[in-house]
Amino acid sequence: MSSFFCSEASRLAQEDLIGTVMPYRAYVLIECPMPWTANALESKLIPDSLRQLVQAVQQSGLPIRFLLVNQGQHPTATRVLIYRQSSGRFCKGYHRWETSVEHLEQVAGVIQAQLAMRELPCESYWQTDQNAPPIRDLLICVHGSHDRCCARYGIPFYRDAVALQAQLGLEQVRIWKASHFGGHRFAPTLLDFPDGRCYGRLDRSLLQSILMHSGPIDGLKSIYRGWSILPPPLQVLERELMLNWGWDWFRYPIATRVVERTEMPGLQAELSVLLPDGQVREYAAELIPDPEQSRCLLGSCHAAQPTEYIKYAIQSLRTSKVALPEPQSSAVA
């Protein structure tokens, strides 16, 4: 057996993690006992109806990611969670919908019905105690049959995360084992809902900072992969602003716009953040390929050929502050 581990190669190459998260409009999480096959949705417990639904969604081109999750036991019912991006110009992350069914065979129909809705029910639909802190779901990839780095680093980190959650008494936080959601060369990897931010190369102390939104914000620079509501190049700009603003940044909705350029490499990005006082801080920057940070690496433990991973750098960051226009009244003539 080869002694190569892609996560070790990435660390040795000092690869920057930022800009490595694929954007999705929605994530569908399906509770399923382990073990899982390399392609999790080909696992023996997954019914044909669910496989067919996933295949139809993938063929349609809809940016929806299906994941299997588990909390280390065989549940008496099957939970289904759907995280869908909030609508409107400014976005803060994802809205959550959750239900339970008796059997996995019922899952496809439940998902199909919910994805057909223009908007998922808001959190008040399922959260009975409005004074309780909102549920937070942390997914840790332990999908060793997909890539062995996820087992080698993900499984021990999952145990650490469960122990830390209990130690801190965070009853509103749920820790899940998850199937592959990308970036196994950064194992252990974590996807944090409802905001949808992704991290890698984690340890217990850094996880505590993420859980509590405390400690030096600079600690996130080496572990932050990006925000899944944004295309990868804009994740570079968002990280820069997060490091400048500190933990308050996580409370603010944002809006973005990308202008592709044809005359030269890179793109022009605009990011607006909505502040509590109703003001909008607007940022604009040129994002250009950065040959010094780009890397050519084996992207997985079983890869036959290296892949070139293009990284982006921020150039000419500009900012301004404006007020949102007052909503127009809709008087009937």
CB 184 within 8 A of CB 190: no
Residue 209 within any structural domain of the chain:
yes
In the chain, the number of structural domains is 1
The residue range of the domain holding 62 is 6-231
User: Has residue 196 been placed in a domain?
Assistant: yes
Ranges 131-135, 156-160, 163-167, 202-206: which has the least confidence: 131-135
Q: Which helix (H) or strand (E) holds 235?
A: helix 232-245
User: pLDDT band at 131, cuts 50/70/90?
Assistant: low
Q: Does residue 141 form part of some domain?
A: yes
Burial 212-238 (b: 16+ CB within 10 A, else e): eeeeebeebeebbbbbbbbebbbbbbb
In a domain, 173, yes or no: yes
The CATH number covering residue 67 comes to 3.40.30.10
Cβ-Cβ contacts under 8 Å for 267 (sequence gap 6 or more) = 233, 258, 259, 260, 261, 286, 287
pLDDT at residue 123 tops 50: no
In which region does residue 170 sit, left (phi positive, over 0), alpha (psi from -120 to 50) or beta (all else)? beta
Terminal alpha carbon distance of the chain: 78
pLDDT for 130 beyond 60: no
Domain membership of residue 118 (yes or no) is yes
Assigned token pair, 15:
């690869």
Q: Please, are residues 315 and 287 in contact by the beta-carbon 8 Å criterion?
A: yes
Q: Is residue 296 part of a domain?
A: no
Residue 111 DSSP SS3: helix
* pLDDT at residue 174 in the model: 97
Q: In sequence order, what DSSP letters do the residues of 254-313 get, joined into one string?
A: EEEEEEE-SSSSSEEEEEEEE-TTSEEEEEEEEEEE-TTT-EEE--STT-SS-EEE--EE
d(CA 225, CA 20): 6
- Rounded to whole angstroms, the Cα distance separating 149 from 6 reads 7
Which residue do the tokens 């993420």 mark?
A: 210
Higher per-residue confidence, 253 vs 262? 253
Examine residue 276 and state whether it is found in any structural domain, yes or no. Answer: no
Write out pLDDT tens, residues 292-325.
999 999 999 999 999 999 999 998 899 987 665 5
**Cα atoms in the Cβ-side hemisphere of radius 13 Å centred on 1:** 4
